[in-house]
Amino acid sequence: MNTFEFWGDNFPQMLAGMGVSLQLTLGALVMGIPLGLLLALGVSSKLRLLRWVCLALVEVGRGAPALVVLYVVYYGLPVLKLSPEAMTCAYIGLTYTTCAYTSEYIRGGLKSVSPGSIEAAHALAMPGLDVLRFIIIPQGLRVAIPSLMGFAIQIFQATSLTYSITVREVTAVSYSVASQTFRALEIFTLAGIMYAIITIPASWLTNKVEQRLTLRH
């Protein structure tokens, strides 16, 4: 069986694994980015306690490797008499890493909003929450979009770490194929190609979006 036949035979289960990877990425982003926004607002808060708690969450989340976060969740939750599935642990761990990182990108975006437009909104008698919702957050998020897209690519790659907590994503599938067939080089090459097929166009898209956003302003 040559390499292409070998790839073809294993492609269906590899594709299923990739499905899991994409699902994890989407879940981490959908849950993590809104939480990141909340953390960004918390870190910028005037309330000292809130600011410190949020800052601690962000710094720990950014400081600890994603793999360590996954292990802490996976081995930590049972200690609390909870026994979530591996997939749930993966969602929790990746979401935490995502919200910690994205909060910093979003905070940078929020800080870049021109003080003039904020002042104008205040002068127009818009209440503080409205200023945040309609003026600061939309402008700040727009600035953060390219770095958030860049991060999305990174967290997609980081889903491979969930292999270590028994999630059957594409790296885990590759590993089990390799241990059954002893054709590790070939199967991991396929895995690499499959990751690249997603990440390379995603990087192009990120650049395109970045250019468009710079043109607009």
Please report, as ranges, the residues that interact with another protein according to CB under 8 A.
Answer: 114, 116-117, 119-127, 130, 134-135, 138-139, 142, 216-217
CB 89: neighbour CB atoms within 10 A? 25
The minimum distance between CB 33 and another protein, in angstroms, equals 18
Given the complex with another protein, which of 45 and 181 has the nearer CB atom?
Answer: 45
Is the Cβ of residue 40 or residue 58 nearer to another protein in the bound state? Answer: 40
CB-wise, 121 or 187, nearer to another protein? 121
For another protein, the closer of residues 142 and 183 by Cβ is 142
